[in-house]
């Protein structure tokens, strides 16, 4: 069966919805074109939407998330956040520090530092005052059930606590968009479900747009939209 491509994804946006993340005819290859990964991706996500990006390992999910977050640039095409093209923006770092948060499969926290220290790092980089940052951390830690863990080193925390910490860190600067790359992929099924619930709750409370790569269909179905990545493009089944 041929599914329509996400070029028609605007069907899934209500007429008032503000597009916060957009990819237009995005191409990306590696090794001087020997590995062609993205072949004309078109995508739009509206403010507050939760979007799951599914597809087999190696299909290009991480590549696309990296382009969305400005960690890499497309060979061709445009990626824009809130209408501003990511790879051409002169204040790229500033834009990304405030607009986009990342959660990775392996939490990428610094094991020797405490939960609190890990979460405060992005606020220092963004020039947020200490008192404001601390208040934000307390709020997020409370929401994610980590208040009693603030002073603990990452290496002492469980897998689920580490991913919850990564979620807090990603949201410290109040980004409008959260990019999550297999955020529960390293956890057992029970913990994975619990962390995902918390992730959905938190993005809903904060009005954050979530784009999550996952190969867990059960989790993906809980999102507003489920996209399939295949042959270098995005396909969006027409929802029932
Ligand atoms: N930095 C890189 N250099 C060369 N090839 C890469 C690089 N990053 C990813 N690839 C290749 O691009 C393809 C897509 O990878 P990726 O985006 O990580 O897929 P997914 O996240 O869906 O598993 C894979 O074939 C992978 O080996
Ligand atoms: Mg990946």
- What the chain holds in terms of domains, given with CATH numbers, is 6-235 (3.40.50.300)
Helix (H, G, I), strand (E, B) or coil at 230: strand
Cα of 30 vs its chain's centroid, Å: 22
CA 181 / ligand 2 centre spacing (Å)? 6
Is a pLDDT exceeding 90 seen at residue 226?
A: yes
Q: Is 160 in the pocket of ligand 1 (CB under 6 A)?
A: no
155 burial (CB, 10 Å; 0-12 / 13-18 / 19+) is exposed
**Confidence at residue 10, expressed as pLDDT on a 0 to 100 scale:** 45
**Confidence at residue 156, expressed as pLDDT on a 0 to 100 scale:** 95
Is a pLDDT exceeding 60 seen at residue 163?
A: yes
Q: Is 59 in the pocket of ligand 1 (CB under 6 A)?
A: yes
**Confidence at residue 239, expressed as pLDDT on a 0 to 100 scale:** 61
**Confidence at residue 240, expressed as pLDDT on a 0 to 100 scale:** 44
pLDDT digit string, tens, across residues 53-111: 999 999 999 999 999 988 889 999 999 998 888 876 666 776 777 889 999 887 789 99
Q: How far is CA 30 from CA 53, 63, 72, 105, in A?
A: 21, 10, 11, 22
Residue 112: how many CB atoms within 10 A of its CB?
A: 10
pLDDT digit string, tens, across residues 52-67: 999 999 999 999 999 9
User: Do residues 133 and 172 make contact, with C-beta atoms less than 8 angstroms apart?
Assistant: yes
Is a pLDDT exceeding 50 seen at residue 130?
A: yes
Q: Which atom of ligand 1 is nearest to the CA of 59?
A: 22
Separation of alpha carbons 233 and 102, rounded Å:
22
C-alpha triplet 49, 235, 220: angle, nearest 5°: 45
pLDDT digit string, tens, across residues 5-32: 444 344 455 556 899 999 999 999 999 9
Q: Is 31 in the pocket of ligand 1 (CB under 6 A)?
A: yes
Q: How far is CA 128 from CA 98, 141, 144, in A?
A: 10, 18, 22
Which token pair is 75? Answer: 């060979």
Ligand 1 atom 11: residue of nearest CA:
58
Dihedral in degrees, nearest 10, Cα atoms 183, 188, 193, 196: -10
**Confidence at residue 47, expressed as pLDDT on a 0 to 100 scale:** 95
Q: How far is CA 137 from CA 19, 95, 186, 230, in A?
A: 28, 21, 24, 39
- The phi, psi pair for 155, rounded to 5°, reads -65, -15
**Phi-psi map region of 219: left, alpha, beta (phi>0 left; psi -120 to 50 alpha):** alpha
**Confidence at residue 125, expressed as pLDDT on a 0 to 100 scale:** 85
Nearest to 165 by CA among 190, 125, 137: 137
Q: Give the global pTM.
A: 0.90
The number of the ligand nearest the C-alpha atom of 230 reads: 1
């Amino acid at each position: 069966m041929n599914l329509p491509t996400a070029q028609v994804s605007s069907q899934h946006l209500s007429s008032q919805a503000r597009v916060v993340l957009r990819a237009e005819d995005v191409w990306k290859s590696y090794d001087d074109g020997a590995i062609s990964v993205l072949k004309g991706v078109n995508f739009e996500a509206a403010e507050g939407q939760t979007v799951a990006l599914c597809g087999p390992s190696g299909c290009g999910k991480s590549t696309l998330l990296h382009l969305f977050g400005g960690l890499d640039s497309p060979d061709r095409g445009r990626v824009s956040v809130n209408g501003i093209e990511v790879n051409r923006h002169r204040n790229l770092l500033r834009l990304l520090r405030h607009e986009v948060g990342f959660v990775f499969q392996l939490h990428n926290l610094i094991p020797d530092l405490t939960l609190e220290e890990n979460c405060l790092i992005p606020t220092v980089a963004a020039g947020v005052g200490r008192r404001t940052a601390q208040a934000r951390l307390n709020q997020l830690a409370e929401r994610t059930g980590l208040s009693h863990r603030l002073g603990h080193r990452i290496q002492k925390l469980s897998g689920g606590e580490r991913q919850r910490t990564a979620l807090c860190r990603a949201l410290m600067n109040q980004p409008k968009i959260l990019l999550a790359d297999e955020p529960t992929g390293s956890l057992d099924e029970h913990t994975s479900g619990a962390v995902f619930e918390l992730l959905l709750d938190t993005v809903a409370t904060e009005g954050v747009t979530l784009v999550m790569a996952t190969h867990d269909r059960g989790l993906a179905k809980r999102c507003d939209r489920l996209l399939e990545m295949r042959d270098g493009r995005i396909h969006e089944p027409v929802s029932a």
